[in-house]
Structure 1
Amino acid sequence: MQSAVTLAQIARYAQVRRPSVSNWRRRHADFPPPTGGTRAQPLFDAEQVAQWLDQRPALVRGAEPATYGDVFRAGLRAGDAGNGAELDGDTVAHLGLELVALRVAHQGPLPTDRRVLADLCTATETAYPDLAGLFDHVQAGDHDVRPLLADVERLVSEVGAPGAAEEILATARRRGWSGRLGETAPEICDLVTGIAGELLGKPSDPAIADLTAGPGRLLTTLSAAIGPRAIHYAETDPAMAKVLRLRLFCHGHRNLVPHPDGEATTDFAGADVAFVDPPFQPGEHEQRDEHPLSWAARVVECLSGDGIGFAVVPEWTLTRAAIARRLPVTWTREQLIRRGCVRAIIQLPRHLHPFNTGADLALLVLNADDGDSTRQVVMCNAAAIRTRSDQPWVQRTTDMVCRPTSAREAELCRTFPVANLVGRRSLLPAHLLTPESTAPDDYLLGTIRARESAISTFATSTDGLPVLQRIAVTTRTAGTSRRTVGELLRGGQLIRLPGHRIPAGDLGDNGQRVLGREELLGLVPIGQRRIDVVNLGKYSAAAITEPGDVVIMAGERLQVMVDETGGSVLLTPVQGLRIPGYVKHSSVYRDEPQRAWIGPHALAALLGAARNAARTGTRVRSTNLQQLDIPVLTSAEYDHLDETALLLTELAEQARRQAAALDLVRQQLATSLAAGALSLRLKPSTTTPNTRGDDSRATTPA
Structure 2
Amino acid sequence: MPDKPEPAPFVTAAEISRLAGVTRATVSNWRRRHADFPDPAGGSDASPLYDLQAVEGWLAARGQLPVGSPLDDVKAQLRRHPDGFEIAQRMSAVVLALVRIGEKGQKELLGCAAEALPASMGTVMRDHAAEVPGGAALTGFERGDEPVLRAVVRGVHETGAVPVLDALAELPRDEAGVRGAYATPAALVELMADLVAGAGDSYPQSILDPACGTGGLLVAAAERGATALYGQDVMPAQAGQALARLGVLVPSAAAHMSDGDSLRHDAFPELEAEAALCNPPYGDRDWGHDELAYDARWEYGLPPKGEPELAWLQHCLSHLASGGYAVLVLPPGTAERASGRRVRAELVRRGAVRAIVALPTGIAPPLHVGLHLWVVQKPVHERPESLSILFLDASAPGALSDVRATGGRGEKMIDEEGLREAIARRWRAFVTSSETFETEPGIARAVGVVDLLDDVTDLTPARHTRATTVAVNPARFAEQMRKARTELARAASTLTALNDEGAWPMVGEKTRAWRTATVADLARGAALSVQRAPSSTRNPQAHGTTDRREPGDGRRALTAADVTAGQAASGRVAEGQEAKAIEIMQGDILLPEMLRPLDTRARVADAQDAGNLLGPSLWLFRPDPERLDPWFLAGFLSADENVHSVATGSTMRRIDARRLRVPLIPLNEQREYGQAFRHLHALRAAAALAARLASETTRELKVGLTGGALVPSTFGHTSTP
Normalised by the shorter chain, which TM-score bucket?
0.3 to 0.5
- What TM-score does the superposition give when structure 1 sets the normalisation length? 0.47
Flag the structure with more relative contact order, 1 or 2, with Cα contacts below 8 A and sequence separation at least 6: 2
Q: TM-score, normalised by structure 2?
A: 0.45
Larger Rg: 1
